Structure 1
């Protein structure tokens, strides 16, 4: 006699999240985001990249901003991509993120870079992140931890980073004096 399970095991997803911020205590805000992710039910942090510092990407005529601190985090989660997005936005809000202008200064930004090898052009969540392949502040920290990973639909992150001329050519500087920890 075959037994039917009472519940199906949730599908687990491997996701890559990019963290960044340039307001307030930047390192403290990144660490608070890591801590909040670690406190999320059905989510486990697999790895955390080194911290990088980068100049802001400014549109023509935009107000000057302070430099950003950036890091990349790998997670395994039972949350669907939409639920992961909702959790990321809730963490941003809890840490004082205010969305006034596109690419404006912020306490924290949590971008979902990719989930598994999903490709989606949904208005709410485009996967992989549409500009990740051109962002050294995503590729360099990710490469430091997982150099053989592939950005879905774009290619190996090592090749993408080399195509940008490397981290330094894009102004992404690894901060050896700063570290994010899993507490």
Structure 2
């Protein structure tokens, strides 16, 4: 068995949608860990309020690219079920679910996604929650904890959202 790490984000009713997303993930695969929740300001000029972000670890065995693509398709169905409007632009979201990293397969898997997810190395709101549950995972030869520390120090501040604990949902 391996692990796949999923990033979660929401700025439309996140106190409702993040727990629903964790429950939906648990219906797909066993959820073994969930990070604390962080509040961050939107990037890309998104209006609509702060985002709440987290990461979850799922037990998963991806034997080949087809398995990973199937998981990505399942995540898209969960997003749609929770009311996400498909878009390739930055906009408010009920839920955003991204495969951030696996302890197996890596590479580009389509026109708009790859593993590890490039945002892990670009944004603290992605790297910090991942570092909470997979600090020693390697991305580009660097530990996620080191990437998260650099991004956290350099970018907009993340604020723990202690009122929402997703680990209790899983």
Give the CA deviation at 1:172.
1.4
After superposition, the CA RMSD in angstroms is 2.0
Question: TM-score, normalised to structure 2's length?
Answer: 0.86
Matched-pair contact (CA < 8 Å) for 1:81–1:115: no
CA deviation map 1:10-61 (0-9, x unaligned) = xx331010000111x2121000000011112xx11110000000111124xx
Give the CA deviation at 1:165.
4.2
Matched, 1:76 2:92: no
Match of 2:119 among 127, 131, 138: 131
Structure 1 pair 165–34 and aligned structure 2 pair: CA distance change class (3 A) = closer
Give the CA deviation at 1:97.
0.3
| 1:1-183 aligned within 5 A | 12-23=1-12, 25-40=13-28, 43-59=29-45, 64-78=47-61, 80-100=67-87, 102-124=89-111, 125-151=113-139, 153-166=140-153, 169-180=155-166, 181-183=168-170
Q: Which has the higher helix share?
A: 2
Matched-pair contact (CA < 8 Å) for 1:133–1:154: no
Greater C-alpha radius of gyration: 1
The list of structure 1 runs, each at least 4 consecutive aligned residues, that deviate by more than 6 angstroms after superposition, is: none
Give the CA deviation at 1:156.
0.3
Structure 1 pair 142–164 and aligned structure 2 pair: CA distance change class (3 A) = same
Instruction: Give the Cα–Cα distance (whole angstroms) in 2 for the partners of residues 15 and 149 of structure 1.
Output: 11
Instruction: Give the Cα–Cα distance (whole angstroms) in 2 for the partners of residues 82 and 17 of structure 1.
Output: 14
Unaligned stretches of 5+ residues in structure 1: 1-11
Give the CA deviation at 1:64.
2.2
**Residues paired across the two proteins, number:** 164
Structure 1 pair 148–13 and aligned structure 2 pair: CA distance change class (3 A) = closer
Unaligned stretches of 5+ residues in structure 2: none
Higher relative contact order (CA 8 A, sep 6+): 2
